[in-house]
Amino acid sequence: MIESMYAIKNGTFYPFSVQEMIDCMPGNFGCQGGDICSLLSWLLMSKTEVISENVYPLTRRDDQCRLSKLSMKTSGVRIMDFTCDSFVDAEDELLASLATHGPVAVAVNAISWQNYLGGVIQYHCDGSFNSLNHAVQIVGYDLSAAIPHYIMKNSWGPTFGDKGYLYIAVGSNLCGIANQVSSVEVG
């Protein structure tokens, strides 16, 4: 989401480090799911810059924070403000936020996604708040499709799903997508 908002603001796509967030956010449990709202709060309060993925690449495991060694070599982007909302039973407001503000980060239940190959997820994905275990970005939606759906960008790389994307039906808080929705302003 930070990448998307940076691209919207500056007209350039610049990949920022997910691994930095996994390793460096105090007490966030890294790859065990984390908490988007706590992460954004920490980034804002600590004025920590999110640096390039090229400098701090994804390893897909919890590790020691290497930020102090790397931040001297590169600059990044800072969070200037953020929101953290619940849109349970109000997904029309989530759609409006996507249309007027841009991409958002959401906490989801991704347990059933391990074998996702494509199509629209529309059943059998628990949406309870206690089942949230992963963060993804909603980058858009398609309400004119046979099954209206959100377009989600996952962090598992381009070999996952549809070139790194997946689709979830709108309207039922499937996989918990409406429980914890965050948007950011970057500087």
Domain CATH for 26: 3.90.70.10
Domain end (from 64, 79, 94) = 79
Active site includes 149? no
Active site includes 101? no
Are residues 90 and 179 both part of a single domain? Answer: yes
Which one of 28, 109, 149, 154 is the catalytic residue?
A: 154
Residue with tokens 């209206």: 148
Are residues 12 and 61 both part of a single domain? Answer: yes
The maximal CA–CA distance of the chain, rounded, in angstroms, is 50
- Give the distance from CA 153 to its chain's centroid: 8
Structure tokens at 6: 């940076």
Q: Is 126 left (phi over 0), alpha (psi -120 to 50) or beta?
A: beta
Are residues 64 and 120 both part of a single domain? Answer: no
Residue 83 CA to residue 43 CA, distance in Å, equals 13
Total number of domains in the chain: 2
Are residues 1 and 46 both part of a single domain? Answer: yes
Assess contact for 173 and 90: CB atoms under 8 A.
no
Are residues 172 and 87 both part of a single domain? Answer: yes
Q: What is the pLDDT along the chain (187 residues), one digit of tens a residue?
A: 888 999 999 898 888 888 888 888 887 555 655 688 888 998 999 998 999 888 888 887 888 888 776 656 667 899 999 999 999 999 999 999 999 999 999 999 999 998 899 999 999 999 999 999 989 999 999 999 999 999 999 988 889 999 999 999 999 999 999 999 999 999 8
Measured CA angle at 21 (ends 64, 71), to 5 deg: 70
pLDDT on residue 116: 93
| Domain of residue 138, residue span | 83-186
CA 95 vs CA 22, 99, 131, 138: distances in Å: 28, 6, 23, 10
Which one of 28, 109, 134, 149 is the catalytic residue?
A: 134
Are residues 61 and 108 both part of a single domain? Answer: no
Are residues 75 and 122 both part of a single domain? Answer: no
Are residues 8 and 63 both part of a single domain? Answer: yes
pLDDT on residue 21: 86
Residue 162 CA to residue 53 CA, distance in Å, equals 22
